[in-house]
Structures are given as structure tokens and as C-alpha cells.
Amino acid sequence: MTTTSVPRLKARRTPVKHKRAIAIFLAPFAVLFAAFYLLPIGWAIGQSLLVVERDGTFGKPVEVFGGLTQYILVFQNEAFWASVGRVALFGVVQVPVMLGFALVLALLLDSPLVKGKKFFRLAFFVPYAVPGVIAAIMWGYLYSPNLSPFAAFTSGFDLLAPETVLWSIANVVTWVYVGYNMLIIYSALLALPSEIFEAARLDGANQLQIALSIKIPLVMPAIVLTAIFSIIGTLQLLAEPQVFRSFTSSVSSTFTPNIAVYTTSAVPNVSLAAAMSVVLALATFIMSFVFLKFTQRKGDQ
């Protein structure tokens, strides 16, 4: 035991050169990451395990350890789960529509069918420069029944009604992010060597066939990346619906999980809000991870 571990210890120790430099390089980020990532996460977990107790109705409130009480409350909180269901529905529809749109535009930009590529690329990317809050304010007016330039349509068909507002918000998110996702997929397409298509073209394959059977499978990693970012973004949905609350009463104070967390913390019910944040972060983790594994296995087959 000792005879083997001593040389191993030596062998492990010798390769670490430049310790001081490594420490200097890592320290600033590590300190900030610990303070503003790890500490809040640990704090949220700790806080989520506390409950407030009072001596009688008017007693002083005291925070005591409550185990998983807050988590049980989260799981019993219908408004929270309704908000989770809402963003899930949103994601199931909006993410594929947006990525499909982005993929079509990227493939068209990459095909010889389109002229003026530089202009289109810029035009499609411009909305990404508009912050979500600003985009939501802008579209809020475009949806308005009397101020919209499309009032002929919006006065007859209420885009801010309880049944439609989710999809009106989906359109805002799509508008902002299609160009960004298109650019990711388009860069992946540009990186493909063109010889791959030459053979197919000589065999008489048309652009659509080349796109479907060669280009899309090859840029799948890029599409998966955009899908993961979009899923994370959907679970975090906050700014756009929060802005829409000043345009319509259809967006409730628990419309998305994040708005529910914000509302709960303002009550204030900090421990419940912390438990909701932890559940949300875990859900994001699991969803991204499962999606990644699922697509990887599919790709291997």
C-alpha cells in the first residue's frame, strides 16, 4: 500500500507547474463565481428549508428549520404548476416553430436560390439587438386594438385576450430570437465543405433534397445547441409577460414560474419563493440534460 502510493503521489505532484500563475488566472473569476453563483444557490437551498413560526397570532415571527415543508407547499401550489404547464405548452409550440423558421431561413441563405444574402442576414438579425422589454413594449402597441397600425385586424381579433395572449407573447420571443438562431445554424452551414454537395448535385439532386438529406443532418449539433438555449429561455420567461401586464389584465401575477417567484417573494414569502427557484433551476437542469442525452443517442443510431 505505502510502496505504491508514495511514487503515485510524486507522479501526481510533479506535473503541476506554474501554480502561482494558475492561481492568478483562476482567482478573479473563481471569487466572483463563488460569491454570485454558488453562494446564492446555497443560500436559496438553505432558505427553502426554513419555515416561519409565530407565538400565537400576533407573536414575533421566527424562522425555524422546516425540512421539506416548503417543497410540499410548492408541489401543492396549483398556481405555480399552472404556470409551469403554461410555459411547457409555450415551449412545445414556440421552440419548434422558431427553430423551424430559423432553419428554413438559414438553408435559404445558404442555397444558391437567394440574391442579396448580406442584406437579408443583417435584416433578420436586427431584432436581436432589441431587448426583450423593449420588444414587448413595441409589440404591445402593435397588438393594441386602437393604437395599432393594424387596428383593422386587432380591433376585431383581440390579441391580448386570456386565450390568445400566450401566443402573442410567443410571437414577440420568436421575433427577437429567430435571427440569432438562424445565424448559429447558418455559421454551421458555412463551415461545411462544399465538396460534399458537389457529388449530390452531379447526381441530379435538387436543392431541397440536398438540404433535407445532407445539410440538416450535418448541422444537427448546432440545432441542438439552439434548442437547449431556447428551452432554458422558455423556462426563464419573465420580461415579456411582465411588460404585457401593463397592456392587459390577461397576464396574471403567476403567469410564468418566474413571475410567480417574483410575486411570492414580494408577499413576502421568501422561503416558498426560494423553494420555487430551486425547483425551477432543477427543472432547467434536467430538461437540458435529458434533451442533450436524448438527441445524442438519436444521433448515434
Judged by beta carbon, residue 166 or residue 240, the one nearer another protein is: 240
- Shortest distance, CB of residue 56 to another protein, whole angstroms? 27
Q: Which of 51, 79, 138, 192 binds another protein (CB under 8 A)?
A: 138
* Calpha distance 103→182 (Å, rounded): 6
Query: Which residues 177-216 are close enough to bind another protein by CB under 8 A?
Result: 178-179, 183-184, 186-188, 190-191, 201-202, 204, 206-208
Query: Which residues 99-118 are close enough to bind another protein by CB under 8 A?
Result: 104-105, 108, 111, 113-115
Which of 56-64, 89-97, 156-164, 254-262 is the region at the interface with another protein (rule: CB under 8 A)? 254-262
99 Cβ neighbours under 8 A, 6+ residues apart: 181, 223, 226, 227, 230
262 interacts with another protein by CB under 8 A: yes
Judged by beta carbon, residue 37 or residue 294, the one nearer another protein is: 37
C-alpha separations of 299 from 65, 169, 219, 290 in Å: 46, 33, 12, 14
Query: Which residues 160-179 are close enough to bind another protein by CB under 8 A?
Result: 175, 178-179
Among candidates 26, 24, 41, 173, which has minimal Cα distance to 98? 173
CB atoms within 10 A of CB 174: 19
Judged by beta carbon, residue 217 or residue 221, the one nearer another protein is: 221
127 alpha carbon, distance to own chain's centre: 17
Total residues binding another protein (CB under 8 A): 103
Among candidates 62, 66, 60, which has minimal Cα distance to 47? 66
* Calpha distance 81→87 (Å, rounded): 10
Q: Which of 1, 11, 19, 76 binds another protein (CB under 8 A)?
A: 19
The stretches of the chain forming alpha helices (DSSP H) are 2-13, 19-33, 39-48, 69-76, 78-110, 117-125, 132-143, 151-154, 165-190, 195-202, 207-210, 216-218, 220-235, 239-244, 257-266, 270-300
Q: Which amino acid is at 46?
A: G
Q: How far apart are the first and last CA of the chain?
A: 44
Which of 55-63, 71-79, 157-165, 237-245 is the region at the interface with another protein (rule: CB under 8 A)? 237-245
Which of 65-73, 76-84, 142-150, 155-163 is the region at the interface with another protein (rule: CB under 8 A)? 142-150
- Shortest distance, CB of residue 164 to another protein, whole angstroms? 18
Judged by beta carbon, residue 81 or residue 125, the one nearer another protein is: 125
- Shortest distance, CB of residue 206 to another protein, whole angstroms? 8
43 Cβ neighbours under 8 A, 6+ residues apart: 274
281 interacts with another protein by CB under 8 A: yes
- Shortest distance, CB of residue 262 to another protein, whole angstroms? 7
125 interacts with another protein by CB under 8 A: yes
15 interacts with another protein by CB under 8 A: yes
Query: Which residues 73-102 are close enough to bind another protein by CB under 8 A?
Result: none
12 interacts with another protein by CB under 8 A: yes
Q: Which of 129, 196, 199, 212 binds another protein (CB under 8 A)?
A: 129
Q: Which residue has the cell 420588444?
A: 135
